[in-house]
Amino acid sequence: MFSRAYKTAVAAPPLLWVSVFLLAPYLLMFCYSFWSVSSSRTIVHSWNLNNYEELLAKTVYWQTLLRSMWIAARVMLFSLLLGYPLAYFLSFYAGKRKDLLYQMVIVPLWVSYLVRAYAWKTILGSDGVLNTLLQYVHLTRHPLDFLLYSPFAVVLTLTHIYTPFTFLPIYAALEHVPRNLVEASHDLGATPVQTFWRVIFPLSIPGVVAGATFAFVLSLGDFLAPLLLGGPSGIMISNIVVSLFGAAYNWPLGAAISLGMLVIVVSLLFFSERLEKKWSFS
């Protein structure tokens, strides 16, 4: 239908974009991960597996990775627990207020990430809103110090930030559940609870998988929330990468960790896409 030249012309800009800004950097990172740093702090372009050996040998990297995954898993769980009921209510019971409520869920996405993270700092700090309130009503005598600079603070903040990302695909999936299936279920004698578990929930699984993937992957790679609110116990893997590329000036090791992360994330995306496909029926 279209000429070969036309097709090439249309495809060229995006291909070029992806090559220059995505593939080339990844390739460069891949190369870096097999190089090393000399004692005089210059990058030596000699191929070796030292970085990967160091990664496997030092438990600090493993522990931080595991902690990051544990934080990401909790963020995923809480985002689902918040996002699903919200999406379900909006899709099935909000009636005329649906659009307004939907906007209210979406609006926080337009507020800067930093503002939202700092907001939690003001709330959770030892002189923060929450501690002041708790002391005022005499629930505690001293400020609670586990609120800020802890994995708790990171999980809370990331949950707040990424719940809309979980909500959106679930809401979209629920909106696509044909309402006559719900009627058919009631018609066949299923109570509302039975209908939810046997019809509505199974048909919303693709949205749940997509939302869970968003929350997990985005949290796993996050470095600002742990930087601002995590404290020493809330350090995540990305913070290590940041410091390796910055102060520590060990780009090759940083690249090796990044590559490891990339492998984890890509396998997760692959797995979640398979799961979504398995539960799609259109």
Partner 1 sequence: MGHPTGPWTEKRLMVSPTTPAPAVTASIQSAAKPTLLSIRNVAKTFGRNAVLRNVSLEIAEGEFLTILGESGSGKTTLLRIVAGFETATSGELWMGDERLDRQPPYRRRVNTVFQSYALFPHLTVEQNVGYGLRVAKRPAAEIAQRVADALDKVKMTAHAKAKPSKISGGQQQRVALARALVNRPRLLLLDEPLSALDANLRRQMQVELKSLQREVGIAFVFVTHDQEEAMVMSDRIALLRSGELEQVATPREIYSRPATAYVAQFIGHTNLLKGDVRGGVVRGGSLSWATSLPDGPALFSLRPEHVRLAGTGGPPGLVRTRGRVLHQAFHGATELIRVECADDLVLVMRTASGGGALHEVDLEFSAADAVLVRESPERN
Size of the site for partner 1 (CB under 8 A): 20
Report d(CA 248, CA 229) in Å as an integer.
22
User: Among residues 99 and 183, whose Cβ is nearest to partner 1?
Assistant: 183
CB-CB contact of 46 with 126 (8 Å): no
User: Among residues 45 and 278, whose Cβ is nearest to partner 1?
Assistant: 278
**How far from each other are the two terminal CA atoms of the chain, in whole angstroms?**
29
Is there binding between residue 127 and partner 1 (CB under 8 A)? no
From 11, 12, 181, 269, residue interacting with partner 1 (rule: CB under 8 A): 181
For residue 261, the one-letter residue type is: M
Report d(CA 24, CA 30) in Å as an integer.
10
Tell me how far CA of residue 1 lies from CA of 6, 120, 126, in angstroms.
10, 56, 67
Shortest Cβ 170–partner 1 spacing (Å): 17
User: Among residues 79 and 204, whose Cβ is nearest to partner 1?
Assistant: 204
Residues 55-84, one symbol each (x = binds partner 1 by CB under 8 A, - = not), give ------------------------------
Left if phi > 0, otherwise alpha if psi is -120 to 50, otherwise beta: which for 193? alpha
Report d(CA 136, CA 223) in Å as an integer.
34
Instruction: Note the Cα 252 to chain centre separation in Å.
Output: 25
CB-CB contact of 79 with 215 (8 Å): yes
CB-CB contact of 65 with 193 (8 Å): no
User: Among residues 203 and 228, whose Cβ is nearest to partner 1?
Assistant: 203
Is there binding between residue 183 and partner 1 (CB under 8 A)? yes
Q: Which stretch binds partner 1 (CB under 8 A): 16-24, 119-127, 176-184, 239-247?
A: 176-184
- The half-sphere exposure of 187 on its side-chain side, counting CA atoms within 13 A, is 6
User: Among residues 103 and 282, whose Cβ is nearest to partner 1?
Assistant: 282
Sequence-distant (6+) residues with CB within 8 A of 144 are 130, 131, 134
Residues 201-240, one symbol each (x = binds partner 1 by CB under 8 A, - = not), give -xx-------------------------------------
Report d(CA 131, CA 57) in Å as an integer.
42
From 194, 266, 271, 274, residue interacting with partner 1 (rule: CB under 8 A): 194
According to CB under 8 A, which residues from 251 to 280 bind partner 1? 279
Shortest Cβ 268–partner 1 spacing (Å): 24
Shortest Cβ 177–partner 1 spacing (Å): 10
User: What does the binding site for partner 1 look like in residue numbers (CB under 8 A)?
Assistant: 178, 180-181, 183-191, 194, 198-199, 202-203, 279, 281-282
